Every structure is written in C-alpha cells, then in structure tokens.
C-alpha cells in the first residue's frame, strides 16, 4: 500500500496546506531550529509556494555555513555542505520568477557563498 503523497495535484496553484507548512517553517526558523524550518519550508515549496522556496534556499545556505564551522575541513563536512548548497541553489533557481523583493538578494548571497567556497578550495589545493 503506497503512502499518500504530500503534494497531490491541485490545478497548478499552491496546495491549500502549503501556507500552513510555510507558517510552521517560519515558526521553527524564528525559534532557531533551521533543520526543522527546512523540513517545513521544503514541504511548502514542494506544494508550489514560491515564498517557501526562497526561505528554504536561504535556510539551507545558513545550514551549510553552520556545517562548515561545526565540522571543520573533513571530507564528510565538505560533502554535506556541498549537498546543502546544491539544494539551496536548486530551490532558489525554482523561485527566481517570484516577485518577492528578497529574490535577487538571496540568489546573490548563494552565489557569494559558492564563490567563497571555491576560493577556499583553490587555496587548499595550492598548499602552503
């Protein structure tokens, strides 16, 4: 027996529960639980709510920054950070058509994060 999908078809519009998931994500983000916020924002974004895709991209980018600090330079930390940044970029690119005023700023922040990481890797590869 298959499970009911989170986002059933709803005529191309955001699903009715997307706003509830988005509000839950904002509550988790306000409380400082970025992983919980990401879970709820992802559900709302998967239900075609562009504001949630933007918030999800931002939260995933901040999680990647935390992962960088928390896990240091180990390979697992680098891979986890790269996965978070790739997912963040995907969600931000999905929401680029949004008329939300933060769209350009969030996309620019993501590009800056990726450029900083590329520069750090180049320094690491060149050695001392």
Cβ burial of 60 (10 Å; 0-12, 13-18, 19+) is buried
Give all domains of the chain, ordered by start, each with its CATH number: 18-126 (1.25.40)
Distances (CA, A) of 94 to 9, 42, 71, 90: 18, 12, 29, 6
Give the tens place of pLDDT for each residue, 7-20.
444 555 567 789 99
Apex CA 39: angle with CA 38 and CA 41, to 5°? Answer: 60
Q: What DSSP string runs through 75-91?
A: HHHHHHHHHHHHHHHHH
Written as six digits, the tokens of 100 are 């939300």
Question: Is the model more confident about 2 or about 112?
Answer: 112
pTM, to two decimals: 0.70
pLDDT of 16 reads 77
Written as six digits, the tokens of 113 are 């994060």
pLDDT of 7 reads 44
Give the tens place of pLDDT for each residue, 38-95.
999 999 999 888 889 989 999 998 998 887 555 555 666 778 888 898 898 888 877 7
């Amino acid at each position: 027996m298959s499970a009911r999908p989170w986002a059933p078809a709803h005529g191309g519009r955001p699903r009715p529960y997307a706003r509830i998931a988005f509000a839950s994500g904002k509550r988790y983000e306000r409380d400082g639980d970025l992983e919980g916020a990401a879970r709820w924002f992802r559900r709302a974004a998967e239900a075609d709510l562009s504001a949630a895709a933007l918030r999800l991209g931002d939260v995933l980018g901040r999680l990647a920054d935390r992962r960088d600090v928390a896990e240091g330079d180990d390979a697992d930390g680098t891979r986890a950070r790269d996965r978070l940044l790739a997912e963040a970029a995907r969600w931000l690119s999905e929401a680029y058509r949004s008329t939300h005023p933060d769209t350009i700023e969030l996309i620019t922040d993501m590009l800056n994060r990726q450029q900083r990481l590329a520069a750090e890797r180049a320094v690491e590869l060149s050695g001392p």
